[in-house]
C-alpha cells in the first residue's frame, strides 16, 4: 500500500487538546494515519514514501459540517432576508416542490461537495430528499457523508406520506450498506412537520436498525409558540415524552433552550448541531452554546443549507461560533480558539458516532486531513497557529485535502470531481429555476 509523508510547518492534531507539533511528519498508508512523528524519524523509516512538502502550511483534521442540506446549493440566493417560516412556506418549499428530483439532488450535492472540499470540509451530516442521489454524489466525489433520510407528513414529488418516506429511507440504507464513506440517519424534519405517531415509528426503527436520528429542534420562537398552541408543551417536552431523547439524537439548532432543557439534553447525551450564520440570517436567534457546552453537551458546528447561510464555509462558521459565544455570554473567555476547533472537528465526529475514525489526527484514524497555507498577509506573523485557524484564516487558504488517505484537492485543484462540469451544471439549473418561478418580492 502506498505511503505518503506530509511535511508541514505545523500539525494541529486536535487531540491532545492545545497541541501544536513542529518538525513533525504525518504519515499516511492507504486510508489511515500510521505515524505522527519527528520528521527525521519518518523519513528514515519510510524511505520509499511519496514526500509532500508543505513548508508554510498547517495540517489539521478535516472539518465536519454537522448540519446541512447539500443540494440546496442550487437555491442559494433564491430567497433571502426572511424569517424561517415565510422563507420555507412562501419560497423554498414551493421551489423544492417544482424542481427537486434525483437529478437536482445529485447535481446540487456535487456542487456542495466541491465547495466543502475546497473549504476544508471532509465530512457532512446531510438531510434532504432523494437520499440515494445524495449518497451517489458523495461516492462519486470520494466525500464522507452521513445521509439524513428526511421524513415528514406532507407529500412532495419524492414521497407521498410519512410511510413512503420511511420505506424509501430503509431501501436506500440497504442499497448502500458496505460503502465506507457513507452512513445513514433517520431525519424527521422538525416537530412541526412530523406527527407523534411518526416520531414513535422512527424511534422504534432507529432502535432496531441502530441508526441515529437527526432533526431540526427549537430553531425559532415561532416553533415553540406553535407547539404550545397545538400540544400545550414546548417541542422538547413533547419529544421527551415520545421517547426521542432516549435515541442517539443530533438536534440541529437548539437556539431556544432554557436552563432545565439544557440539563435534560446533557443528561440524555443529546448532540447539538449549532448553525450560527443561518440562525442569524433567518433571525432565529443566538443559541446559548457556552451554557450548553458548560453543561457537558457535545456541540458541533453546521452551516445549514446554502439557501439560508448562504455559504458552506466551516472556517467562517467556526469563527462566528466563537465570537457569538463571547458576545452572548459577556465573557471573552467563552469558546476559546481550541474549543471552537474541537467543535468543528472532533465534536462533529462524536455526534456522528465516528469519533474513533475521524475528527483528529491520531495514529489508526482515517486520514481525513487538510492543509492551509498560512504564508499570507492575514496570517503572518504566526505566534499560535490554533489562534490563526479560528480567528484569522479563511477557507481560500486551504490548499490540499485528503479524505480516507486520498488526495481529493491538490494545490487548490479538485482531484475527485470535474469542477468545470460542476459549474456548468449549476448554471444549467439556474436557467431552469429562473424560468419557472417568479423572483422573490419581500
Ligand atoms: C426534509 S429535508 C430538509 C427540508 O428542510 C428544509 N430546511 C432547510 N433549512 C431549514 C431550516 O433551517 N429549518 C427548517 N427546515 C429547513 C429544506 O428546505 C427541506 O425542505
Ligand atoms: Zn436545516
pLDDT digits (tens, 9 = 90+) for 131-158: 999 999 999 999 999 999 999 999 999 9
Q: Is the CB of 128 under 6 A from ligand 1?
A: yes
Q: For residue 131, what is the domain's CATH number?
A: 3.20.20.140
Q: Is the CB of 305 under 6 A from ligand 1?
A: yes
Rounded Cα distance, 18 and 337, in Å: 9
54, three cell numbers: 508543505
**441 belongs to a structural domain:** no
pLDDT of 201 reads 98
Are 387 and 240 within one domain?
A: no
Shortest-distance atom of ligand 1 to CA 253: 12
Per-residue pLDDT band at 437 (split at 50, 70, 90) = low
pLDDT of 439 reads 52
405, three cell numbers: 488517505
- How deeply is 89 buried, as exposed, middle or buried, from its count of CB atoms within 10 A (0-12, 13-18, 19+)? exposed
Binding site: what residues are annotated? 67, 69, 96, 189, 216, 219, 304
Which ligand is nearest to the Cα of residue 189, counting in written order? 1
How many angstroms from the chain centroid is the CA of residue 89?
Answer: 24
Ligand 1 centroid – CA 78 distance (Å): 14
pLDDT at 438 over 80: no
Are 217 and 84 within one domain?
A: yes
Ligand 2 centroid – CA 88 distance (Å): 11
- Average pLDDT (193-207) is 98
Q: Is the CB of 278 under 6 A from ligand 1?
A: yes
Rounded Cα distance, 273 and 330, in Å: 22
Q: Is the CB of 96 under 6 A from ligand 1?
A: yes
Rounded Cα distance, 149 and 183, in Å: 10
Rounded Cα distance, 366 and 105, in Å: 27
pLDDT at 127 over 60: yes
Per-residue pLDDT band at 17 (split at 50, 70, 90) = very high
Q: How large is the ipTM?
A: 0.98
- Average pLDDT (158-168) is 96
Are 182 and 40 within one domain?
A: no
CB 63 within 8 A of CB 121: yes
pLDDT of 289 reads 98
**266 belongs to a structural domain:** yes
Burial 270-301 (b: 16+ CB within 10 A, else e): bbbbbbbbbbebbebbebbbbbbbebebbbbb
- Average pLDDT (220-239) is 98
Rounded Cα distance, 338 and 383, in Å: 14
Determine what percent of the chain is predicted with pLDDT higher than 90. 98
Q: For residue 36, what is the domain's CATH number?
A: 2.30.40.10
**Residue to mutate, 82, 108, 189, ligand 1, most ligand atoms under 8 Å from C-beta:** 189
Are 391 and 274 within one domain?
A: no
Are 44 and 170 within one domain?
A: no
**418 belongs to a structural domain:** no
| CA R_g for the chain | 21
> What are the strands of the beta sheet with 121-126, ordered from one edge?
63-68, 121-126, 144-151, 182-188, 212-217, 249-253, 271-274, 298-301
Per-residue pLDDT band at 436 (split at 50, 70, 90) = confident
User: Considering its fold, how many domains does the chain have in total?
Assistant: 2
Among candidates 342, 329, 266, 359, which has minimal Cα distance to 300? 342
300, three cell numbers: 458541533
Per-residue pLDDT band at 124 (split at 50, 70, 90) = very high
CA dihedral 52, 56, 59, 65 (to 10 degrees): -120
Q: Is the CB of 308 under 6 A from ligand 1?
A: yes
Are 316 and 282 within one domain?
A: yes
- Average pLDDT (147-172) is 96
Per-residue pLDDT band at 440 (split at 50, 70, 90) = low
Rounded Cα distance, 129 and 435, in Å: 23
| pLDDT tens, residue by residue, 305-355 | 999 999 999 999 999 999 999 999 999 999 999 999 999 999 999 999 999
Which ligand is nearest to the Cα of residue 190, counting in written order? 1
**234 belongs to a structural domain:** yes
**124 belongs to a structural domain:** yes
Q: Which structural domain range is residue 167 located in?
A: 64-351
pLDDT at 121 over 80: yes
SS in 3 state form for 52-100?
EEEEEEEEEECEEEEEECHHHHHHCCCCCCCCHHHHHHHHHHHHHHHHC
Per-residue pLDDT band at 1 (split at 50, 70, 90) = confident
27, three cell numbers: 504519515
Ligand 2 centroid – CA 285 distance (Å): 14
Q: Is the CB of 240 under 6 A from ligand 1?
A: no
The pLDDT mean for the chain works out to 97
pLDDT of 372 reads 98
Shortest-distance atom of ligand 1 to CA 88: 18
Cβ-based neighbours of 64, under 8 Å, separated by 6 or more: 121, 122, 123, 124, 125, 300, 314, 344, 345, 348, 349, 352, 358, 359
What global pTM score does this model have? 0.97
The residue whose CA is least distant from atom 14 of ligand 1 is 216
Binding site for substrate: what residues are annotated? 96, 189, 219, 304
Ligand 1 centroid – CA 431 distance (Å): 23
Are 155 and 170 within one domain?
A: yes
CB 288 within 8 A of CB 302: no
Q: Is the CB of 131 under 6 A from ligand 1?
A: no
Rounded Cα distance, 384 and 417, in Å: 34
Which ligand is nearest to the Cα of residue 220, counting in written order? 1
Are 271 and 405 within one domain?
A: no
The residue whose CA is least distant from atom 3 of ligand 1 is 128
Are 208 and 345 within one domain?
A: yes
- Average pLDDT (279-304) is 98
Which ligand is nearest to the Cα of residue 187, counting in written order? 1
Per-residue pLDDT band at 31 (split at 50, 70, 90) = very high
Ligand 1 centroid – CA 239 distance (Å): 19
**39 belongs to a structural domain:** yes
**440 belongs to a structural domain:** no
**276 belongs to a structural domain:** yes
Instruction: Return the bridge partners of 6, or none.
Output: 26, 52
Q: Is the CB of 281 under 6 A from ligand 1?
A: no
Rounded Cα distance, 203 and 210, in Å: 10
Are 71 and 163 within one domain?
A: yes
pLDDT of 307 reads 97
The residue whose CA is least distant from atom 12 of ligand 1 is 304
Are 346 and 386 within one domain?
A: no
Query: What backbone phi and psi angles, to 5 degrees, belong to 397?
Result: -85, -5
94, three cell numbers: 414551493
Shortest-distance atom of ligand 1 to CA 275: 12
Are 291 and 192 within one domain?
A: yes
Amino acid at each position: 500500500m502506498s505511503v505518503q509523508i506530509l511535511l508541514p510547518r505545523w500539525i494541529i492534531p486536535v487531540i491532545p487538546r492545545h497541541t501544536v507539533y513542529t518538525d513533525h511528519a504525518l504519515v499516511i498508508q492507504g486510508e489511515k494515519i500510521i505515524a505522527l512523528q519527528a520528521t527525521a524519524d519518518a523519513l528514515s523509516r519510510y524511505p520509499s514514501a511519496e514526500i509532500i512538502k508543505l513548508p508554510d502550511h498547517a495540517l489539521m483534521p478535516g472539518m465536519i459540517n454537522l448540519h446541512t442540506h447539500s443540494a440546496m446549493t442550487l437555491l442559494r440566493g433564491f430567497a433571502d432576508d426572511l424569517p424561517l417560516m415565510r422563507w420555507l412556506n412562501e419560497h423554498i418549499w414551493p421551489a423544492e416542490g417544482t424542481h427537486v428530483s434525483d437529478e437536482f439532488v445529485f447535481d446540487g450535492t456535487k456542487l456542495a461537495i466541491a465547495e466543502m472540499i475546497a473549504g476544508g470540509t471532509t465530512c457532512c451530516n446531510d438531510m434532504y430528499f432523494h437520499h440515494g442521489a445524495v449518497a451517489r454524489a458523495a461516492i462519486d466525489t470520494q466525500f464522507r457523508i452521513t445521509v439524513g433520510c428526511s421524513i415528514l407528513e406532507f407529500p412532495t414529488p419524492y414521497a407521498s406520506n410519512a410511510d413512503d418516506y420511511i420505506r424509501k429511507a430503509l431501501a436506500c440504507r440497504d442499497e448502500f450498506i458496505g460503502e465506507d464513506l457513507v452512513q445513514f440517519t433517520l431525519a424527521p424534519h422538525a416537530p412541526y412537520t412530523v406527527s407523534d405517531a411518526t416520531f414513535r415509528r422512527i424511534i422504534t426503527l432507529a432502535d432496531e436498525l441502530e441508526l441515529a436520528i437527526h432533526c431540526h429542534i427549537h430553531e425559532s420562537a415561532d416553533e415553540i409558540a406553535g407547539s404550545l398552541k397545538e400540544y400545550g408543551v414546548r417541542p422538547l417536552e413533547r419529544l421527551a415524552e415520545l421517547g426521542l431523547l432516549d435515541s442517539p439524537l443530533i438536534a440541529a439548532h437548539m437556539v431556544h433552550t432554557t436552563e432545565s432543557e439544557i440539563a435534560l439534553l446533557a443528561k440524555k447525551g443529546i448532540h447539538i448541531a449549532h448553525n450560527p450564520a443561518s440562525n442569524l440570517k433567518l433571525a432565529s436567534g443566538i443559541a446559548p452554546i457556552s451554557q450548553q457546552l458548560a453543561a457537558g453537551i457535545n456541540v458541533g458546528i453546521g452551516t445549514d443549507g446554502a439557501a439560508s447561510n448562504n455559504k458552506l464555509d466551516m472556517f467562517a462558521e467556526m469563527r462566528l461560533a466563537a465570537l457569538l459565544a463571547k458576545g452572548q455570554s459577556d465573557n471573552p473567555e467563552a469558546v476559546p480558539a481550541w474549543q471552537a476547533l474541537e467543535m468543528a472537528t472532533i465534536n462533529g465526529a462524536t455526534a456522528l458516532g465516528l469519533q474513533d475514525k475521524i475528527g483528529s489526527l491520531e495514529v489508526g484514524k482515517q486520514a481525513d486531513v487538510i492543509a492551509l497555507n498560512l504564508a499570507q498577509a492575514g496570517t503572518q506573523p504566526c505566534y499560535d497557529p490554533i489562534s490563526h485557524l479560528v480567528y484569522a484564516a479563511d477557507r481560500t487558504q486551504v490548499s490540499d485535502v485528503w479524505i480516507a488517505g486520498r488526495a481529493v484537492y491538490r494545490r487548490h485543484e479538485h482531484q475527485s470531481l470535474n469542477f468545470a462540469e460542476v459549474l456548468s451544471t449549476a448554471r444549467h439549473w439556474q436557467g431552469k429555476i429562473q424560468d419557472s418561478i417568479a423572483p422573490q418580492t419581500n
